[in-house]
Amino acid sequence: MKGAGKRMTKEKIGLVQEAPVDKRRVKDSWEKRTGNLTVVYSTEGVVGSEYIHNCECRLGNTVTSTSTQTSGQRLTREEIERLPRLVEWVAQYY
């Protein structure tokens, strides 16, 4: 038995080291459909810093997009959907 234990301790265990995760980085996306219109929202940024919010409208074969930037506090999905620039962008399709 002692010999078996020694063999086990001599074996090397390979470890895979993953890249560190930045827990302060935020990235999210979601879509909403109304009739033939699909609106894809996305947001990306760093907690406590600035965020970029994107809005992509898909209607038939046409795809258009816009973005806006905010700083400071992280916004909820609902707050992002109510940002004036994004509201105006989506409104042109109704």
Residue type, 43: T
Q: What is the pLDDT of residue 20?
A: 60
Q: Please say whether the beta carbons of 42 and 29 come within 8 A.
A: yes
Q: Are strands 62-71 and 50-59 parallel, antiparallel or unpaired?
A: antiparallel
Q: Tell whether the model's pLDDT for residue 2 goes beyond 70.
A: no
Structure confidence by residue, pLDDT tens digits, 16-63: 656 566 678 999 999 999 999 999 999 999 988 999 999 999 999 999
DSSP character at residue 24: T
pTM for the model stands at 0.73
Q: What is the pLDDT of residue 56?
A: 98
Q: What is the pLDDT of residue 87?
A: 97
Which structural domains are found in the chain, ordered by start?
21-91 (3.10.450)
pLDDT grade, residue 94 (50/70/90)? confident
Residue 43's contacts (CB-CB under 8 Å, 6 or more residues apart) are 26, 27, 28, 29, 51, 52, 53, 54, 75, 80
